[in-house]
Structure 1
């Protein structure tokens, strides 16, 4: 009876010893679960939409499954209305240019002002002379040394000189006012032109946006509208799957120091039986369910975990949905 128990005792001792050695070496199931992480390769999707403009689709230049380059035109909207607005603004700007050139050509009219000022001065001298003659004749008339006819003549000459002076002064004032108004009109026309040019630039930007361009290299996976359909601004009209792939792994707070955005991370694709190098895009705190999963993997109380997103360059053999394995313990296959 005792001989039959001896082999069983040896097997039990061997199993216990092997378990202890595996634990010390980090090969036990709990340790492996905490150091080996798995992630599914995923492709980003980029929704393509007309920014700030909507209208009728006039052309669709891509099909689903077609490869495109960044900047390739995907589809276009009808530009008839905006073309008319652009043409009208350009005509208005040209007319303002002519108006500004004509007004500017007049300049400050300095010579005209000087000439009119001389005319005012001459009229003032004539008025002063007429006033002097009138005063002399009036004095003689009061003394009985001049006839009424003489007084009437110099009085008429004085009125004429006074009127002539007023006319010349009014002409000078009007000339200066015209010059000021002309300068104001030039400035106003320039501001109107600036405003129109801003409107023109805005319309040209809107027109450019009516030709939808691919935002990245990749494959068109969906084309929604058809030619002739109306689409609102901001609505998704196509979907591009870029060449960049990524996968997420969850690591605990004791492992996060090993990862920094931009670092290279070796992964292992089981389906291809080869290593696949990735680059850390970003690190962020994981949702609560990930903390619970991390705790279950390690068989311990809840611990904080972090999501590490790793970018992988797409190749013909790498497909979305494949599993990648990352050994956070540092060893690779």
Structure 2
């Protein structure tokens, strides 16, 4: 009984404390409600500080109309990795996905036999050069040996002419004339023999020079074959389709992989005849990957086929994109937007004011000091502004800062418009 009497005052005291706490909470809530200007608040908070934000007044303006085309990415250039020689692969220096430069070494073949052939050809060239020197020396001697028979012939010819004249006058014996005649024939024969020997020596020199040329050609070809044991990248780009391993024996022309140039890369679209008025070489365009409507890539129309495809009646158009960072890959699909010659009225807001993800974009509108989250539908946009198709009216103040941290119902203060 004594215990019960002591507990009753304690319970009453606790009830009083609870009532005081609840009353305090109620006062805070009321103060919070008043500080928000009497607007409907989606969350109650004891924090009455306002978030300073920048906002822009949405106005109807004139924007360029754009046409959208489905696009696929293609390499701007590609080359096969292949060799000119048959041989055994000793080293491979590339992998799929690797970036390479034109002329970069990718594969090495066994060059043992070719190096041995080079040594053999060098020896043959040296031998041919030595034989040429010997032949030139012989030819020089043979030419000198022509001089004496030439002099002898001239002497024999003079003696014959003098003896014949005397013989014709009856002043010389017949035997003397016959001897002079015989000496002339002998001298003529000796000169012809010397000339033939000199000619043979000269021909030998030409033969040795031809041998040197053949040996030099063989050596050059063998050295060229040595170069061909190193297979290099045909162009700059990304390696794909690797089909080689160390120890493999390859034949000339075997495709060992491909090098695809993706910087620049081409976005390929099909256009109709009606689009040709604004889709022209040099026209600037915007490319976006499927699933990423906010990331844009600048491009320029590079070429348009001169004739339409007979089946589709469409013209194939290639758009060049720099792609210096290599993020765009061949075979990927996207969308190309090209400005037409027309304009239209639309509401546009800064890109930085947009939050959310594809299909669920939103902005915050200043509603008498309260950040009001508003779902929106977007249209065309550039690197700075977005067309708003629905969710924002002309005259609304759209908050452009702190979008990622704001909550629906936060108290805000516009510090700049």
Quick check: TM above 0.5?
yes
1:158-177 map, 5 Å: 165-177=184-196
Q: Say if 2:79 is the partner of 1:46.
A: yes
Q: TM-score, normalised by structure 1?
A: 0.66
Residues 237-259 of structure 1 deviation map (CA, whole Å, 9 limit, x = unaligned): 12223333211111222433645
1:71 positional shift: 1.3
Residues 200-219 of structure 1 deviation map (CA, whole Å, 9 limit, x = unaligned): 43333333222110122223
Residues 80-135 of structure 1 deviation map (CA, whole Å, 9 limit, x = unaligned): 333333333333333333333344454596654333211223345566788879x8
Tell me the equivalent position of 2:337.
Answer: 326
1:56 positional shift: 1.3
1:272 positional shift: 5.8
The answer to whether the Cα contact below 8 Å between 1:250 and 1:286 also exists between their aligned partners in 2 is no
Tell me how far apart the structure 1 counterparts of residues 340 and 216 of structure 2 sit (CA, whole Å): 63
Residues 286, 203 of structure 1: CA spacing in aligned structure 2 closer, same or farther, 3 A cutoff?
farther
Tell me how far apart the structure 2 counterparts of residues 180 and 281 of structure 1 sit (CA, whole Å): 69
Q: Say if 2:253 is the partner of 1:237.
A: no
Tell me the equivalent position of 1:8.
Answer: none
Residues 66, 317 of structure 1: CA spacing in aligned structure 2 closer, same or farther, 3 A cutoff?
closer
Tell me the equivalent position of 2:321.
Answer: 312
RMSD: 3.7
Give 1 or 2: higher strand fraction: 2
1:1-333 map, 5 Å: 35-43=67-75, 45-50=78-83, 52-105=84-137, 106-107=139-140, 111-124=144-157, 165-244=184-263, 245-256=265-276, 258-259=278-279, 263=282, 265-270=284-289, 271=292, 273-284=294-305, 285-291=307-313, 305-314=314-323, 315-320=325-330, 321-327=332-338, 329=340, 333=381
Tell me how far apart the structure 1 counterparts of residues 235 and 187 of structure 2 sit (CA, whole Å): 74
Name the count of aligned residue pairs.
Answer: 271
Tell me how far apart the structure 2 counterparts of residues 237 and 198 of structure 1 sit (CA, whole Å): 30
Tell me how far apart the structure 2 counterparts of residues 234 and 282 of structure 1 sit (CA, whole Å): 32
Which structure ranks higher in relative contact order (CA pairs < 8 Å, sequence separation ≥ 6)? 1
Give 1 or 2: higher helix fraction: 1
Residues 326, 209 of structure 1: CA spacing in aligned structure 2 closer, same or farther, 3 A cutoff?
farther
Structure 1: state its 5+ residue gaps.
Answer: 1-24, 140-153, 292-304
Bigger CA radius of gyration: 2
1:323 positional shift: 0.7
